Structure 1
């Protein structure tokens, strides 16, 4: 039977896991923590999982590898050099692991994203011996990029970047051009040093398109270090969990909270997160809540913004949306929300005094407001606040804007100048989250719910753009 490699996408975190099978047995690579998706896919394929593989100890998500290996009885392959708090099958460079009768994995040391990173070549047996089908590259060779090299601390970043260059070159020298490349990161993950808008790739394509295979080591290191931007604060906690071994997940419904209990939680300094679309949040919401809609990378921004361990209550229109949010949160190590409530602002803010609105605008409205002719219903634009990340700001921003990246905003609210704040990001998602934080601090705010690429055409002066 032909070998089948299935992708298990986690688009909210920008990662992929894989299930490769020969029709009878299967190997799973870099599984997310909610392993029910993997087990369901294996059941659909009618295959038995015999091996679970980690390319490296992840920082951006909690692995489901340990639990998947336990429930399936599979061997759990983890780099022998990694210090972990659980039993595993230790693997090192050059090791060959049979998978059934027709497949094998070859471990290739590809340090760079981490010191002990391994890639795994998937070989198939044929009449002429073994031939490589593809390589699971984890956070090493990505589509048009590589994994970032600064997650283990600044003191290691340059050395790891140099190793990343050597590792990518090693894979390209080892494997023929037709070999498929199957990375874990690079689809929006902050673990990637860059992004490429392609769905699949090969060693040959990467040889032509990937800077790591086109640049000399010194130039690659310089470019890589210059392009690194901030990454989520919760990575520090996730890495520790993965080294210790994650516990099984509990995705059962959590306690319901009524309107009075929601107010008590907000008053106690807990986070009450509104998962609805930002337009619904702007129309009416419970005072003191934070907007992080499920239509965007909710878990990434929540995990980046909160003080780790702060209780989180989830508000959504339906129980299914709460369940989706729970699944997203366990992937980054927020195991159990404190409470939940479903419905809408009328139920959550039973007292009309607790109901709030946010004003929405676009860039043409900002241009008019800055010219002293704000559209009806909108106040003057005393402050324009840009909450994008530093590299986004450097690439171009609104002339005269104040820059406070969203992850920094909770600790830097006092730095936002006085007056009415018009806040923007690149689309409106982060701007609404920032506006909710500002409004909770008593500021008057307008959300620019518009794409930044429209600003110049709307008459908003820009600086730093090409």
Structure 2
């Protein structure tokens, strides 16, 4: 048997294709199923089963559409009220795909009905386990996504689920989680790129701590998660519609300016320093890179008109693929090309880009505002002396708290700061984007 990984780095998730002979089984597929179908074709397998470990809270599943499009059996944990036909499985059930056999193990914690799937070889020995949001690499899935009324119960359940996996499976069993590669579904950052049950026994907090210590530490460490999560479970329970990955309708410069002036969401996908060098006033800069969809989805006003600006059609199509993964399907159009060709009679705006040594020098010469848009737990750990902390996800409601004048904006790497800089840019402020790693601020003694 072979296990192939389908990486979705923008969301910090993995899907899997298990293949044996000409048969394939897919676990936790993302919504853009063309990647799965392409991989199956390359492996020369026919997908007979599509499995979900849980009703996902961080992305819209592709499982329903994939199963329907290829007439595969759709396997989902029992317990949730869903708007479509599926095979509802419970603890102990077997998913029999000929040469591939998976045993269902109820592992509540991330959700109430969460399951893991134990992959067994022809002799019945466990060789792998697909753990979804239960056991992750060096951590576990977060337990607060169903609301605070359930968090304590689910945290205790998560502890026992991970312990059950470790108790019942051999130490050399490969662990294949869905979350934990940058996903906010992880309780704490995951570590490593592969693991086994044996390795987790020595490193996973649910296996190295007593129950109350684990619960206390997990609850204390939970940070904010993206606002778009509120919509994911609803869409997944109703049944997502088929995906559209086509190019949005073109938007000319005059219409683009009308939308900006009307206060609509017009998002510029270009690289953050290119945006700083010249952009249309009133647009938002969300560089199309690793964290794009997480932060756009976090800040986006759900259902608002959304227009994209890109260097070319390929960039816009990549952004659309990212957006449909979190259910932002309806794009109102896109404008592509050199930014100066999209001006429509207005002047481009710009702001400076600097680093932490530059900030250190300026603070020795004059008073400036330092805006730190990292999360509160990051700020509490270390921050630039005198900085104002407004986490990025709070900034839309607190932008009036940002003083006029010269404002230097930073985060942990420059990405969140670049979004914030585009949000506060305007005639009243002289914005400077600190496009630098926060560790550098520590190295030069800027932090308190």
Query: Would you say same fold, with TM above 0.5?
Result: yes
- Residue 344 of structure 1, CA deviation: 2.1
Match of 1:12 among 10, 13, 16: 10
Pair 1:359-2:352 in alignment: yes
2:369 is aligned to 383
SS at match of 2:442: coil
- Residue 456 of structure 1, CA deviation: 3.0
1:57 is aligned to 55
- Residue 441 of structure 1, CA deviation: 7.9
1:347 is aligned to 341
Q: 1:370 to 1:17 in 2, by over 3 A?
A: same
SS at match of 2:136: coil
Q: 1:354 to 1:309 in 2, by over 3 A?
A: farther
Deviations 1:246-277 (A, max 9, x none): 00001111111111111111112211111111
Match of 1:428 among 403, 414, 426: 414
Pair 1:78-2:72 in alignment: no
SS at match of 1:286: coil
SS at match of 1:106: strand
- For the residues of structure 1 that align with 2:203 and 2:367, how far apart are their CA atoms? 44
- For the residues of structure 2 that align with 1:63 and 1:92, how far apart are their CA atoms? 20
Question: Are the counterparts in 1 of residues 182 and 190 from structure 2 also a CA contact under 8 Å?
Answer: no
Q: 1:72 to 1:173 in 2, by over 3 A?
A: same
Q: 1:441 to 1:92 in 2, by over 3 A?
A: farther
Pair 1:405-2:391 in alignment: yes
Question: Are the counterparts in 1 of residues 405 and 428 from structure 2 also a CA contact under 8 Å?
Answer: no
Question: Are the counterparts in 2 of residues 144 and 211 from structure 1 also a CA contact under 8 Å?
Answer: yes
Deviations 1:375-434 (A, max 9, x none): xxxxx5521110011221122111111110001101111122343211100111111110
Match of 1:38 among 32, 36, 50: 36
Pair 1:239-2:225 in alignment: no
Deviations 1:258-304 (A, max 9, x none): 11111111112211111111111111111111111112311111111
SS at match of 1:196: coil
Q: 1:459 to 1:80 in 2, by over 3 A?
A: closer
Question: Are the counterparts in 1 of residues 404 and 428 from structure 2 also a CA contact under 8 Å?
Answer: no
1:251 is aligned to 245
- For the residues of structure 1 that align with 2:92 and 2:428, how far apart are their CA atoms? 60
Question: Are the counterparts in 1 of residues 174 and 196 from structure 2 also a CA contact under 8 Å?
Answer: yes
Q: 1:92 to 1:385 in 2, by over 3 A?
A: same
SS at match of 1:368: helix
Q: 1:255 to 1:442 in 2, by over 3 A?
A: farther
User: For structure 1, which runs of at least 5 residues remain unmatched after alignment?
Assistant: 373-379
- For the residues of structure 1 that align with 2:207 and 2:342, how far apart are their CA atoms? 55
- For the residues of structure 1 that align with 2:385 and 2:147, how far apart are their CA atoms? 34
Q: 1:441 to 1:29 in 2, by over 3 A?
A: farther
Pair 1:106-2:116 in alignment: no
Question: Are the counterparts in 2 of residues 230 and 390 from structure 1 also a CA contact under 8 Å?
Answer: no
Question: Are the counterparts in 1 of residues 9 and 290 from structure 2 also a CA contact under 8 Å?
Answer: no
- For the residues of structure 2 that align with 1:105 and 1:258, how far apart are their CA atoms? 53
User: For structure 2, which runs of at least 5 residues remain unmatched after alignment?
Assistant: none
Match of 2:147 among 149, 153, 156: 153
TM-score in terms of structure 2 length: 0.98
1:118 is aligned to 115
Deviations 1:154-188 (A, max 9, x none): 12111111100000000001100000000000000
Q: How does 1:134-173 map to 2 (within 5 A)?
A: 134-173=128-167
Question: Are the counterparts in 1 of residues 272 and 418 from structure 2 also a CA contact under 8 Å?
Answer: yes
- For the residues of structure 2 that align with 1:164 and 1:344, how far apart are their CA atoms? 51
- Residue 442 of structure 1, CA deviation: 4.3
- Residue 361 of structure 1, CA deviation: 1.2
Moved more, 341-350 or 176-185: 341-350
Pair 1:396-2:382 in alignment: yes
Q: 1:157 to 1:455 in 2, by over 3 A?
A: same
2:403 is aligned to 417
- For the residues of structure 2 that align with 1:199 and 1:140, how far apart are their CA atoms? 16
